[in-house]
Amino acid sequence: MNQKKKWVAPSILSADFSRLGEEIREVSDAGCDSIHVDVMDGHFVPNLTIGPPVIRWIRKTTKLPLDVHLMIEEPIQYLKDFRSAGSDWITVHVEACKDVQATLDQIRNLGAKVGISLRPKTNVKAIEPYLKLVDLVLVMTVEPGFGGQEFMPDMLEKVRALRPQFSGLISVDGGINLETASQAAREGADIFVAGSSIFKESNRKNMIEKLRRAVS
């Protein structure tokens, strides 16, 4: 994986789930770099989405990496299922794990790329002990749980604080549009997760291209 390349990662949370395969094929053909899949359990966040059985079908619709964002309590008990369903990158929340290191180690042992995420209220210091164990840090730029919320500009400070101490990929997730993507890119973010700003457009290809230009 080229660490210098900026990734545009559509979040399928804002896709039409009755046509999920077509939606994913459309953004894949439009030249995005990965597919972001939001998993919510109704405990860690006040919303419910999908689990491994759906990911298994999503896996068949695209060759792009599946970047699976687990917003679930104690993800360690489900990691094997998410991996065998076809997740390439698995990101867990630092706040959701009793034993963060064991959770990250298990993702690594399952052969997936390892990600850690933090809620807006969580200080960057909470993830610093784990930076050597992960390939990706996902900075939440909205409160996790729902698409279509407004970007929290204060979160740019986290990207700024992380960049000099972390050589892996920094992802920003929540409220990403042309303007906020370009602000995050200036702070050194690598991956731009965008749900509503891509899926609300009738011409997704055009939007993905615009996002790519905004971050490069």
Q: Which residues have C-beta within 8 Å of that of residue 193, sequence separation ≥ 6?
A: 9, 10, 11, 36, 67, 69, 138, 171, 172, 173, 174, 176
Q: What is the DSSP string of 153-171?
A: GGGHHHHHHHGGG--SEEE
Q: CB-wise, 104 or 176, nearer to Zn ion?
A: 176
**Residue in the shown chain whose Cβ atom is closest to Zn ion:** 69
The yes-or-no answer on residue 173 being catalytic is yes
Distance of alpha carbon 69 from alpha carbon 56, whole angstroms:
15
Q: Which of 135, 173, 187, 190 binds Zn ion (CB under 5 A)?
A: 173
Q: Which of 33, 135, 173, 190 is catalytic?
A: 173
120 binds ligand DX5 (CB under 6 A): no
In angstroms, the Cα distances linking 175 to 131, 144, 167, 171 are 25, 11, 24, 13
**Taking contact as CB under 5 A, which single stretch among the options 18-26, 46-54, 63-71, 176-184 is the one that binds Zn ion?**
63-71
Token look-up 């046509």 returns: 19
The least CB distance from residue 164 to ligand DX5, in Å, is: 25
The yes-or-no answer on residue 16 being catalytic is no
The least CB distance from residue 111 to ligand DX5, in Å, is: 24
The least CB distance from residue 104 to ligand DX5, in Å, is: 19
Q: Which residues bind Zn ion (CB under 5 A)?
A: 38, 69, 173
Task: Supply the residues annotated as catalytic.
Answer: 38, 173
